[in-house]
Structure 1
Amino acid sequence: MDERNDNGRTEPARAPGSGASRTDGPAHATPPAAPPPTPRQPFAFSEADAEKQRGVRRMKATATGLLLFVALVYVLAKWAQHSGLGGWAGYVAAAAEAGMVGAMADWFAVTALFKHPLGLPIPHTAIIPTKKDQLGVSLADFVGENFLSEDVIRARLAPLDLGGRLGAWLADPAHADRVTEELATALRGALTVLRDSDVQAVVGEAITRRAESAEIAPGLGKALDKVVADGAHHRAVDLICTRAHDWLVEHGDSVMDAVQGGAPGWTPRFVDRKIGDRVYRELLRFVTEIRDMPTHPARGAIDRFLADFATDLQSDSETRARTERLKSDILNRPEVQDVIASAWSAVRAMIIAAADDDRSELRLRVRASLISLGTRLATDDRLQRKLEGWVEGAAVYVITTYRSEITSLITDTVAGWDATHTSRKIEAHIGRDLQFIRINGTVVGALVGLVIYTVSKAFGA
């Protein structure tokens, strides 16, 4: 219910917890959690508003002048009626009297919208200042029910042909270039905002976590099994044998010195040289035969070893466990972590360079994809319907999910307005038209009064 303030004005009752109530406790009592919000003026009273207000005052003067004119006519008509100047005076007096009643009734109705008539706190007057918050709630409910409903949204979006219009727009190469440029600018901005250290930490952690969570032994075993089955490892064996042969030829003295150095001290020197030379020659012959003979038994042994190792990687639990431990040891080495982290810097530099170059493969592919998408959207009815369905679904979801937040913008904004200022603002905008109600009330009241008086006279009343 409404409360009476110290000036005799009626104000809306404040909701509990709004901070407007007072406590009767001692001065040191705990203050409210938050002070009441200070009403703010939602809009400045501009020069245009002042001009409109002057127009309202002119119309008020016109309506009031018409009321005074009708009152003067009433006085003169009554004087003429009592003076016996003719029966016409009664008709004029009746019309003037009804005109005054209509004018006063409409003056009361118009004035009651913005303030208390004559300053009297008559119930259901000063509607806008006292019912401002309720009007905000009603307006929000009206907007929510009639503008933010699913049926209204779909009805408004359906005839727009969003898919076809967007497709035709994107199919234009100039527009595709513009979108590509904007995307490149956004990409450069995003990469500039991101700190390399943060991204490197995230990338390194993601790669490490992913690698540690996935067991690599079975995959390696399958890959190795296929490599052995296809004979793809033969080239690696050829390369190793060739390199080993070349190394032995180049470092023969080192091999013989190593053999002689491992001989017992009691053996003669020439025996050590003979043994070293024999070992070197046999080793060189063995490597040469492996290199030159595709069917050498050592190559078959390598094939069997790799096949057995591939099987163990897939089925032997101990081999798989050792492989996982080796993987963890490698991943946790600082050098490997540095390589993983530095990958972001290389990728970032590559992306920025591609975004800056309008002839880069990245931008050319994006541009071509946009034009292709636009062409398909412009010609493919099924794709158009799918896109429009997505847009409608997204719009409906956002509006229906956040309808209360959207309409609360109206209620909260209206609640924060200063009542007096808001009333002046509204009156400046619609007050001039409302004064025509007073003028029409005067004219219509006079006509109705004249008709009633005429009918009464016609039936002898």
Structure 2
Amino acid sequence: MQVNTEPSTRSESPGGAAAPGGPGRRQTVSAGDAEKASALRRMKLLALSLLILMAIVFVVAFAFQKQYPWLEYVRAAAEGGMVGALADWFAVTALFKYPMGLKIPHTAIIPQRKDQIGASLGEFVETNFLSEQVVQEKLASVDIARKAGAWLSGPGGAERVAREGAAVIRGAFTVLNDDDVQAVIEGMVRRHLIDPPWGPPVGRVAQRIFEEGHHHALVDVLVDRTVDWVRDNQDTVNRLVTDRSPTWVPSFVDGLVGDKVYVEILKFTRAVQSDPEHQVRRSIDKYLKDLAQDLQHDPVMIARAEGIKAQVLGDPEIRELASRTWGTIKAALLSAVDDPHSELTVRFKAAVHDFGTRLVVDPELAGKVNKWIGDAAGYLVKTYRSDIAGVITDTVARWDAEETSEKIELQIGKDLQFIRINGTVVGALAGLAIFTVAHLAFG
């Protein structure tokens, strides 16, 4: 709630009942500040009332002290009370403004030394509060990991994290420009996939595969398929023989030759199929291992690999790949976060709930998390403590001098009025004691 107060003149008389503010100036304050301002006015009025009371008592006692000698003691007490009240009024008022508008040296301390006060306050906070040790000890005593774990594993914790995470993802996709993201993906593809030569890394991977024999299963599949094809295509073999024989060869001879060729081919492929150490298999192994070496060390083979890469992944293909990649990721994530029952959301909630439970029941994990948090907070404080404290200094420096005085007086002015009240009482007692001692000693 916001309320408006109508301040009166800024300069304060010994009564000090005026609210902060200048002539005709309206200041919008919160309800809490309005309540503090009201309490401050009441305390100023009380302190002024005691001063006025001391003055009235002094006048009456001074007027009738000859008729009633005992009033001399009352007069002395009232006189001391007025002196104490005025002295403490001056001291309190001098903190915030010029007393009665008189520019007496070393008054209006806060407005005049605002920047130095802000710098000192920032240095005080930096030294005593933004200490790496203080922050880490406080975090250690709080045991954030277990409290966070209890919340995450409790009712609604995982759902809240998932909901806020979905909002963050949607917001990020709203802010991100598709073209910019695709350009980033394209740049990463070029830098990590396209620009480096393919030959040596492919050759190293192939060499390991071939040396460990992982390619034998593929060779077996190819040999098996070859045997099956030959077995099922005798007519094709015969036709190939007939088509390539001279025209003057009789057809029955072509048939005999075709059958013979077919039988030999089938026998050969089955021999390759049944013998793991067949010469053909060893030749294939040697060829593949030589190819792996050439891909790593032969400039001609490396250049051929680069040519194949350039043909397969040119600029249009790379841009299309980046576009498809980003489009797929974006569509999948948006679809998942918009559906509370999607597999991604369900698994994410389960993972969050499980992590929270582990933080509660696993002291070792909780200790590690607490240490991570403490180390991170300590690093941030150690690195940015001056910047954080500088916020206080810079904020105070931007304040208007009179506004700063008003803010501080509003916070502590009520308590300072007790100085005036106590000064009035102590002054009265001191005045009475001094007069009594002097009267007894010299009267």
TM-score range, shorter chain: 0.7 to 0.9
Aligned residue in 1 for 2:208: 222
**1-structure distance, mates of 2:340, 2:33:** 52
Gap change, CA 1:246 and 1:54, over 3 Å in 2: same
Gap change, CA 1:201 and 1:282, over 3 Å in 2: farther
Deviates more, 1:193-202 or 1:84-93: 193-202
Please list, as runs of the form range in 1=range in 2, the aligned pairs for 1:25-174 lying within 5 A after superposition: 44-45=28-29, 49=33, 52-53=36-37, 56-81=40-65, 84-172=66-154, 174=156
Aligned residue in 2 for 1:208: 194
User: Do structure 1's residue 456 and structure 2's residue 438 form an aligned pair?
Assistant: yes
**1-structure distance, mates of 2:370, 2:296:** 57
User: Do structure 1's residue 307 and structure 2's residue 292 form an aligned pair?
Assistant: no
The alpha carbon displacement at 1:138 in A equals 1.3
Question: Which residue among 356, 364, 368 is the counterpart of 1:374?
Answer: 356
Deviates more, 1:192-201 or 1:44-53: 44-53
Please list, as runs of the form range in 1=range in 2, the aligned pairs for 1:223-372 lying within 5 A after superposition: 223-227=209-213, 232-243=218-229, 249-250=235-236, 253=239, 256-257=242-243, 259=244, 269-271=247-249, 283-294=261-272, 300-313=278-291, 315=293, 320-334=298-312, 337-338=317-318, 340-341=321-322, 342-372=324-354
Q: Which amino acid aligns with 1:157?
A: L
**2-structure distance, mates of 1:78, 1:307:** 127
User: Do structure 1's residue 176 and structure 2's residue 162 form an aligned pair?
Assistant: no
**1-structure distance, mates of 2:367, 2:296:** 57
Q: Which amino acid aligns with 2:285?
A: A
Aligned residue in 2 for 1:198: 183
The alpha carbon displacement at 1:142 in A equals 1.4
Gap change, CA 1:222 and 1:248, over 3 Å in 2: farther
Gaps of 5+ in 2: 1-10, 12-24
Kindly indicate whether structure 1 or structure 2 has the higher relative contact order, using CA contacts under 8 Å at least 6 residues apart: 1
The alpha carbon displacement at 1:201 in A equals 0.8
Q: Which amino acid aligns with 2:305?
A: K
Aligned residue in 2 for 1:385: 367
**2-structure distance, mates of 1:283, 1:360:** 61
User: Do structure 1's residue 411 and structure 2's residue 397 form an aligned pair?
Assistant: no
Gap change, CA 1:89 and 1:148, over 3 Å in 2: same
Q: Which amino acid aligns with 2:132?
A: E
Aligned CA-pair RMSD: 3.7
Aligned residue in 2 for 1:33: none
* 1:173-199 deviation per Cα after TM superposition (whole angstroms, max 9, x unaligned): 642344344434544554563626235
Does structure 1 conserve the Cα–Cα contact (< 8 Å) formed by 2:90 and 2:99? yes
Deviates more, 1:187-196 or 1:230-239: 187-196
Q: Percent identity?
A: 38
**2-structure distance, mates of 1:298, 1:386:** 55
Q: Which amino acid aligns with 2:56?
A: L
**2-structure distance, mates of 1:159, 1:276:** 97
* 1:51-73 deviation per Cα after TM superposition (whole angstroms, max 9, x unaligned): 65455445444433432332333
TM-score by length of 2: 0.78
Q: Which amino acid aligns with 2:282?
A: R
- Partner of 2:67, secondary structure, is coil
Gap change, CA 1:184 and 1:278, over 3 Å in 2: farther
The alpha carbon displacement at 1:435 in A equals 3.1
**2-structure distance, mates of 1:232, 1:279:** 33
Gaps of 5+ in 1: 1-8, 10-40, 264-268
Aligned residue in 1 for 2:15: none
Does structure 2 conserve the Cα–Cα contact (< 8 Å) formed by 1:290 and 1:298? no
Does structure 2 conserve the Cα–Cα contact (< 8 Å) formed by 1:289 and 1:296? no
Gap change, CA 1:93 and 1:158, over 3 Å in 2: same
Deviates more, 1:307-316 or 1:404-413: 307-316
The alpha carbon displacement at 1:233 in A equals 1.4
- Partner of 1:411, secondary structure, is helix
Aligned residue in 2 for 1:25: none
* 1:182-237 deviation per Cα after TM superposition (whole angstroms, max 9, x unaligned): 43454455456362623541452233346648522132123124337856512212
Gap change, CA 1:454 and 1:133, over 3 Å in 2: same
TM-score by length of 1: 0.75
Q: Which amino acid aligns with 1:388?
A: N
**2-structure distance, mates of 1:106, 1:405:** 39
Aligned residue-pair number: 411
Deviates more, 1:286-295 or 1:159-168: 286-295
Gap change, CA 1:223 and 1:121, over 3 Å in 2: same
- Partner of 2:107, secondary structure, is coil
